[in-house]
Amino acid sequence: MPTALGPLDMTPPVMLAPMAGITDLPFRTLVSRFGAGMVVSEMVASHDMLNARPGSREKAELGLGAAGTAVQLAGREAAPMAEAAKMVAGQGAQVIDINMGCPAKKVTQGYSGSALMRDPDHALTLIEAVVRAVDVPVTLKTRLGWDDGMLNAPEIAARAEAAGIRQIVIHGRTRCQFYKGRADWAAIRAVKKAVRIPVIANGDITDGATAAEALQMSGADGVMIGRGAQGRPWILAEVAHALYGTPAPDIPKGADFADMVMGHYTDMLSFYGEVLGLRVARKHLGWFMDTAGTSGAVRRGVLTTKSPDATLKLLPEALRANAGQVAA
């Protein structure tokens, strides 16, 4: 089902989930090259956005104005959320997403993220303030509830729709589950029945088969992929091909795979600077080597060297030697 948010056409509705410390601007750019209905920035706290220095990396990270990009905001107070939304909309954000799903303790202890599900009345004050503050579409990402005794996503979704929310993404777990067990796609169906706006299923969607099952069980209008994209930036395009018959992505193999990874690595160093970039890139290189099946001394070398030049010399050996497993 094609979906649109204002001028943003999310066809096909296969989207990249926001993941703190992972879906940064270089990774979102790489995913977008293969194809995605929409990509979402890493969560940014409204207070941090308002207090960031002009031209700081925190603002550059959002990819304001980038094609097919939503900016995700988190917060616990209506006024700062509204001001931050107004700021990013004024700087080119096409869609603003409100985070009510992050389960991390450092977020929920500040009464942000999924902690807002414990107080729907307060959560609605934030939603209403953001919707009133901007002209661009506002979306919501949340979970099934706080715990098994508070599965209030359908109620919150209905109230959010009435407040002007244009799309809702539901991760098929409660906050207290974090990422344990399996996502309950069938439970998302209650949210779909409660609203008329598009509902997107999220959680444990890793390929075409799981995406199709998630849609069938939830009745959702599309899917959002998070951890399944780690080391496989083409997976959204591959799922879109399986679900909607879009062109199959050209999955890089051999030297092309190594070249893609090295290009991403240099993009990260350029974006973050060498010192921070070396640290941030390590997890991505590990996921790429997981995809390629790389092990042993060459893997250890890639993950432990502190020299960009040495890393770039090791990567062709680490990735080309195992190219037959790249598309597995």
| Residues noted as catalytic | 102
Indicate the DSSP class of residue 42.
Answer: P
Q: Cis peptide leading into 316, omega within 30 of 0?
A: no
List the one residue out of 2, 65, 33 whose CA is nearest residue 229: 33
- Terminal Cα-to-Cα distance of the chain (whole angstroms): 28
Alpha-carbon distances, residue 292 vs 32, 157, 231, 255, 273 (angstroms): 21, 40, 9, 12, 27
**With contact defined as beta carbons under 8 Å apart, do 204 and 187 qualify?**
no
**String of b and e for 272-301 (b: at least 16 CB within 10 Å)?**
beeeebbebbbebbbbbbebbebeeebbeb
The amino acid at residue 247 is P
List the one residue out of 226, 80, 70 whose CA is nearest residue 143: 226
**With contact defined as beta carbons under 8 Å apart, do 127 and 160 qualify?**
yes
**Residue 64 backbone phi and psi in degrees, to 5:** -55, 130
